[in-house]
Homo-oligomer: A and B are copies of this chain.
Amino acid sequence: MITIKDIAEMANVSRSTVSRVLNDSGYVSEEARKRVESVVKETGYAPSEYAKSLRTKKTKVIGVILPTIQTETPSRIVTGLGRELSKHGYQILLANTDHDKVKELEYLDLLKVRQVDGIVLIATNTDAKLMKKIKEINIPLVMIGQEAEDVMHVTYDDYRAVRELTRLFIQKGHEKIAFIGVDESDRAVGYYRKKGFLDEMAAQGLSVEQAWVQKAIFDIASGHEAMEKILKNTNKPTATIAVTDRLAIGAMSYLKEKGMKIPTDMAIAGIGASEMSQYMEPPLTTVDYQNEKAGEEGAKQILASIESRPLQEKIVMDYRLIIRESV
């Protein structure tokens, strides 16, 4: 392996001088600079990031913890993160928890050991243990997707989005509306989206039967089951809001199996603006959360934090309703 020492010898200067031209720091005569540069070019030398990190305590690596990369939301966020970070010479160290909360904690430690300059956590929960660790970790960290006190975060406006979606249904004349949600330990998706729904229904003086509110997990099959349960009730709703597009797609597949027409027998909407949503039959009404942009914003936050520049503690992304034929 070729090192700074080799370059120094070949260019007939000291290692310090080589370092200076490499980092554009301090004074270097034109002549010396040229000699060094040409040697660097010839040899294709590139300084060791590891040795550099050891000295400077900067690694130019951001750890990203996520629950899965198999669904569109985190994938898009990572794409946004990567785009922004790479502009500034940072790389992403990936930590996939596979939805395992224990791994989430372990990775926090691991990334600390790896001495990443910052951590981005695409969060699905805000458990006490997790929050405690986050506060102890002492590395710039931003959470995406969940809000939390004293932690920088980028969130979506889950509450308002779902209220607006609910209002849309009501404006279309629906009074009996069902809801497919997820566990409330996921505050953003489970709690706030549900609250938005319930609050809007209450505000409009509409009541909600218990059987209309189903709890599912994050996959298509679960949406299918949830719709089945909703329709078992004798008092049947005429519209359903699902907290993710995949749940909505699952629900639609059940409706179609039973020969029910969308939106006439049952109107339906999801959240997430998945690619598939527009190719459903009928095309699915959904909410675009601009996940890539959220990733970019998260990246900007973490970079600002690393450079201890002033920054916002909290960013709430805007959303956009995409109204299609399913309502």
Contacts and interface: CB of A to CB of B under 8 A. Distances in A.
A58 to B, nearest CB: 10
Interface string A82-97: 1100100001111110
B92 A93 contact: yes
Nearest to A249: B279
Contacts of A93: 61, 91-94
Contacts of A253: 279
Interface of A: 46-51, 53-54, 59, 61, 64, 68-70, 72, 75-76, 78-79, 82-83, 86, 91-96, 98, 109-110, 112-115, 220, 249-250, 253, 256, 275-276, 279, 281
A20 B112 CA distance: 22
Contacts of A249: 276, 279
23 contacts: A47-B113, A48-B115, A49-B115, A50-B50, A50-B59, A50-B115, A61-B93, A64-B94, A68-B79, A69-B79, A70-B72, A70-B75, A75-B75, A78-B94, A78-B96, A82-B96, A91-B95, A91-B110, A92-B93, A93-B94, A249-B276, A256-B281, A276-B276
Contacts of A83: 96, 98
A256 B82 CA distance: 37
A70 B76 contact: yes
Contacts of A49: 113-115
Contacts of A54: 48, 50-51, 54
Given A79-B98, A91-B93, 5 more contacts: A70-B75, A70-B79, A78-B94, A91-B95, A93-B93
Contact of A279 (B46, B47, B61, B250): B250
